Structure 1
Amino acid sequence: MTFPALSPARRSHGALAAFAFSVFLASPSIGQDTNQGDRRTAAELLPASVVAYAEVARLGDVIELVTEHPLRQQIQDMPAVRAIGGSDQVRPLRDGIAAFEGGMGRPWDEALSVLTDGGIHLAFDAPTQGAALLIKSSSREQLERFRGVVLAIAQLGQGEFGIARQADYRGFTAYSLNDNIKLALVDQWFLMTNKPELGKSIIDRYVDGDKHSLAASDSFTTAMARAGDASLKAYVDVETIRSAGVAPKLYAGKTENVAAEALFGGIVANLAHTPSAVATLQIHRSGVRLALATAHQSEWESGREYFFGEDSGASAPPLLQVPDRLLAISTHRDLSQMWLHAPDLMTDKANEDLAQADTNLTTFFSGRDFGEDILGSLLPGIQVVVQRQTFDAASPQPAIKLPAFAMQFQMRTPEETTREFRRVFQNVVGFINVVGAMQGQPQLDLDFEQADSATLVTATYVPPRDEDELAAVPINYNFSPTIAFAGERMIVSSSTPLARTLTGLSAPSESKVKHPNTVAVLHADALADTLRDNKQQLVAQNMLEKGHGPDQANAEIDVLFGLLALFKEVTVELDVDEGQLKLTTDVQLQSK
């Protein structure tokens, strides 16, 4: 059958009419609600062989929170959002929502809330390699309407109209979406799966009951109990996946370079032993919190005590507080112990690179062993801070303005370590000048500063002789490398002003407050200000890459700034607490 060409408006109405007709064909008569007293959970219906499981217990609460959020109107008022909302690009979405509402007989948000008030559950079963979707609702009518919508979508996609293929299993009718995917209504449950044998086992468990269900798994029940209340919860049977040989490198307990070891070594050690992992997503008015947790035991840390500290209880130093702070990171790492144990922790290729680096660094440090003598002169703990950088009007103005960054360490023997690192810093500056001279780069000028009890060794690029060139200097002028020593603290900074700020801070004091093992905070307002300092370059890049005119390029960049204005900060924490290794990410929204 063929259809005449339709205008966009007629095509839209024609699609809706066809969809409504398909729903009518696909939907049986609406029945009465049954088995409303069934209190069984999805985990009681799923087999114990499920290796991955996720659930959204109250989708309606999430929808209500999002639709009534104070920032919703601000987002809708964005010019880009208004333009997109009225464009033909989102017409299929608008038509899809209208068709869904027509099929469900309610507004989309109300329909989803009622349809899923018993929860949405998704599972993957290892033996059958099958996935199953289970939706529980208090309304049989909404389940039947939703079945009709799903069958209609499948029929429209295949260009077939009529009654879907059906089969009966233990008193329940199964419908075929295609050769693989089947769906059925099991009283209050909507069931869809790509493996018929998995669907049959779920129905068998519903009818007969079965003690060998996912709910009977100790690993599952323990992990989900620890997850607590959340908008979304997910579980992974790590032990089964690990034993099956899936992604063996992930569970081998070894990393491929020093940076990966310092950042993720403790997580890698944990994944080689932990039986399970659980994830939770909590959505609230002030933001979103994502947490990943695995079981953890100190015996699993063998060789990586540098990461966790004694009894897995090491705390990161306090975050550095500076004006216009863009990013701050603080972590407990014993770099000396990590370096010395690296041969047992990293791959053979990584160890070859490490051995070469160790030889070069030992030579650079006048024969002193880099791992034992140089890194061993620093106490565990690293503090990193990134700051929006501003430039004095009389100073050279780089065309691209980069943020300044610095690292702070605590020295075991300040007098000896100060001499060693001061000498090495001067040698590095000299090497940069020699290489830079051969490449026509500006030269660094060394200087020394004494401020109270702090000593700074600074390196500043010599400004151009022509004053007209001050407003368009190379990217090099973002940097004024500095090493500073203040008491037991050593600061290595990309800029002298930031180093001066840090030396003026008080030294961290002993605190009984337990900090996370690792913590990082990103501030959206400082990030936006840093990007705004470079807006001209961002617009030029947009015009070059996408061929846009100035107005269109500016509009796209303004969308980025509009999105950043919605956020306050992002905090990431890694810690061991109550027998769990936890990685938590908090995204905080602006209050207004």
Structure 2
Amino acid sequence: MRGLKSLLLTSVVALLIGGWQGWCPAGDIQSTTAWIPQNAVATLVLKNPTSLIEQWEKSPLRQAVESNPGFRAALANPGLKQADALVGLVEVHTKKDRWTLLKQLLGGGLFVAALPRGEVLVIAEAQDGQLLRDVHEFLLGLAKLDAENKGQPDRVKSADYRGVTAWTFGGDEIHAIVENRLILTNKPDLMKQIIDRIQDSRGGGLRDNPKFAAAAKATADHNLVLYLDLETLRALPNVAKGLEQGRQPLPILLLAGTVTALQKAPWLAVGLSIEGNRVKGTLQTGEVAEWPSTLSFAVTSPEDGVLPPIHVPGTVLTASFYRNLRDFYAQKNELFPERTSGLIFFENMMGIFFTGRNFTEEVLAELEPYVRVVVAAQRYAPEVGTPAVQLPAVAVVFRMKNPEKFQPVVEEGFQNALGLINFVRGQDAKPGMILDRPVYKGVKYTLAYFNPDPEGDKEHADIRFNFSPVLACRDRDLILSTAEPLAKDILDALAAQEAAVQSVQKAVTTQLEVLGTQIVRLLELNKEALIAQNMAEKGHSREKAEQELSQLLTVLKLLSELRVTESFRDRSNRWDFQLELTRP
């Protein structure tokens, strides 16, 4: 049993990892999905993996993974070492290397399904049915020989059912070979059900499930597909509890459509495909008959959408959202009834900053539903110095409805907030910020900054020098930034966008881009601080802390750029993403 499981595990891992370097068109999965019971809660389908195996075998990415210390340490696990030895014996027996074995034993596809009562079904479709039977007989012989050498009873058992022989190596597993497919499950009754379905050419399998058919259509272009029956999953107590716990303000604000879809949609499908060094994916939910009215703050009309993301030098992350903040906050009692007291406290604080104005109707109502966020690496003035810990700068860009009316209001609120910060810092005997009103390319903005320390270490300055908050207004755009250089870069970017006359992206509610190279750069700049933190929190030696950071950087260096888009179409929620990989 352990040998068969190890071979299967090795195959699955190799195929899934292999998916990072090659893609082939989706194959016909209809005949095999007809064998899977219709009530499958979760189903993973890997179609036509032969090309994936071939690409992974010669991929430089495989060499990078195999040279990683963490990966090598994992291979030292006794179970994996035993599996590797077993695969070596199969190679000798068949006179085929493991890559050829994988292609011929699993090249037709791999299907893994979980059913409601704890049943698990795995179907591996071989290109060479005779090779599958030959390897199976060899493994049976090894299991019998192992028991004999140890003086133990033969663990291998078999039984016939309707002309099909089912085998077990002991424990909960039972498997059979039908045509060119290996069927593996943990329940004898499920095996009988599968054999009945095959022998009787019976319908009613997963192929005939309308929800699965819709999910398969939505992910037809992808090679790896995961299907979830949300209606069945929501009936499970732990899942229902988890969905309720997900109703927190920030997740709802950022992922409103997805959170709601998980609570109301009939199904969810995730599809992945590979094109060279590019991983493309889709996450889509089934149609929701009626979206709740409380979701209106995050749903666009067909003609509306997000503004273009803002790109500046050193961008780590840039995002653009369609979010009606006034509607979101006005519905706080319906969205978060258990958090009302905390939100009331927040509203009272906003009332202080905005001198008694109604935060919903006199502040948030003055903003259009376009919100953009930029995170970027910092640049530091020589007279200030470089902080020992370098934090990225963060900025949020809103669009005002009535700039002439609202700009003085937000200016007052910004200065009130800075005054409170200075008051608190003064109580702790810490330096406060100085306010200024400089001008950049015709835009006058409000700046708060810390005076440089004339006696301080310019190469290891205090962490406070990461912050020079800015409020700037350019036409209808309102910029709140944690650092002055980023605010200036955004002003330049907005001017360039205006010149290009860029419009909204219709029906899109979220667009996000992440630059992996900049994340790596930030981590490397803060290497000493991260090592010290690791040693303090985990009690590691410096050598161990450096090793963990090195492993993290090795992985991150493979990730070049991630792009994510969310949209609402045909009453369903859809996420599309694209990940660019860097060859090691």
Q: Please state which band the TM-score falls in when normalised by the shorter chain.
A: 0.7 to 0.9
Do structure 1's residue 54 and structure 2's residue 41 form an aligned pair? no
Structure 1 residues 182 and 74 mapped into 2: Cα distance closer, same or farther (>3 Å)? Answer: closer
TM-score, normalised relative to structure 1: 0.85
The equivalent of 1:353 in structure 2 is 342
Structure 2 distance, partners of 1:151, 1:546, is 48
The equivalent of 1:304 in structure 2 is 295
Structure 2 distance, partners of 1:125, 1:405, is 45
The equivalent of 1:100 in structure 2 is 87
* 2:358 aligned residue (341, 358, 369): 369
1:506-517 superposed matches below 5 A:
506=495, 508=498, 509=501, 511=503, 513-514=505-506, 516-517=508-509
The equivalent of 1:120 in structure 2 is 110
The equivalent of 1:227 in structure 2 is 219
Moved more, 321-330 or 64-73: 64-73
Identity, % of aligned pairs?
Answer: 25
The equivalent of 2:428 in structure 1 is 439
1:284-295 superposed matches below 5 A:
284-295=275-286
Task: For residues 405-426 of structure 1, give each alpha carbon's deviation from its aligned partner in whole angstroms, at most 9, with x where no partner exists.
Answer: 1010100110121101111111
Moved more, 452-461 or 510-519: 510-519
Equivalent residue of 2:271, what SS?
strand
Structure 1 residues 172 and 494 mapped into 2: Cα distance closer, same or farther (>3 Å)? Answer: same
1:4-23 superposed matches below 5 A:
none
Equivalent residue of 2:318, what SS?
strand
Structure 1 distance, partners of 2:227, 2:441, is 55
Task: For residues 190-221 of structure 1, give each alpha carbon's deviation from its aligned partner in whole angstroms, at most 9, with x where no partner exists.
Answer: 11111111111000000012122211112211
Instruction: Report the residue type matching 1:336 in the other structure.
Output: R
The equivalent of 1:66 in structure 2 is 56
Structure 1 residues 219 and 386 mapped into 2: Cα distance closer, same or farther (>3 Å)? Answer: same
* 1:449 aligned residue (429, 438, 441): 438
Q: Is contact 2:307–2:504 with CA below 8 Å preserved after alignment? A: no
Structure 1 distance, partners of 2:514, 2:142, is 43
Q: CA RMSD in A?
A: 3.1
Q: Is contact 1:132–1:193 with CA below 8 Å preserved after alignment? A: yes
1:95-244 superposed matches below 5 A:
96-103=83-90, 105=94, 106-126=96-116, 128-148=117-137, 160=152, 162=154, 164-243=156-235
Structure 1 residues 404 and 61 mapped into 2: Cα distance closer, same or farther (>3 Å)? Answer: same
Structure 2 distance, partners of 1:354, 1:202, is 54
Structure 2 distance, partners of 1:264, 1:385, is 18
Structure 2 distance, partners of 1:139, 1:396, is 67
Aligned residues: 550
Do structure 1's residue 490 and structure 2's residue 472 form an aligned pair? no
Structure 1 gap segments, 5+ residues each: 1-17, 24-37
Structure 2 distance, partners of 1:566, 1:381, is 33
Structure 1 residues 566 and 257 mapped into 2: Cα distance closer, same or farther (>3 Å)? Answer: closer
* 2:259 aligned residue (259, 268, 273): 268
TM-score, normalised relative to structure 2: 0.86
Instruction: Report the residue type matching 1:198 in the other structure.
Output: L
Q: CA deviation at 1:459?
A: 0.5
Do structure 1's residue 89 and structure 2's residue 68 form an aligned pair? no
Q: Is contact 1:325–1:388 with CA below 8 Å preserved after alignment? A: yes
1:399-548 superposed matches below 5 A:
399-466=388-455, 468-505=456-493, 506=495, 508=498, 509=501, 511=503, 513-514=505-506, 516-542=508-534, 545=538, 547-548=540-541
Q: Is contact 2:222–2:281 with CA below 8 Å preserved after alignment? A: no
Instruction: Report the residue type matching 2:565 in the other structure.
Output: E
The equivalent of 2:577 in structure 1 is 585
Could you say which structure has the larger radius of gyration? Answer: 1
Structure 2 distance, partners of 1:464, 1:287, is 47
Task: For residues 559-591 of structure 1, give each alpha carbon's deviation from its aligned partner in whole angstroms, at most 9, with x where no partner exists.
Answer: 443333322112222112355321233221125
Structure 2 gap segments, 5+ residues each: 8-27
Q: Is contact 1:256–1:350 with CA below 8 Å preserved after alignment? A: no
The equivalent of 1:337 in structure 2 is 327
Structure 2 distance, partners of 1:472, 1:415, is 42
* 1:568 aligned residue (560, 566, 570): 560
Instruction: Report the residue type matching 1:482 in the other structure.
Output: V
Task: For residues 244-284 of structure 1, give each alpha carbon's deviation from its aligned partner in whole angstroms, at most 9, with x where no partner exists.
Answer: 556224566x9533212201222222223211111112133
Structure 1 distance, partners of 2:438, 2:392, is 23
Task: For residues 392-412 of structure 1, give each alpha carbon's deviation from its aligned partner in whole angstroms, at most 9, with x where no partner exists.
Answer: 333233110111110101001
The equivalent of 1:247 in structure 2 is 239
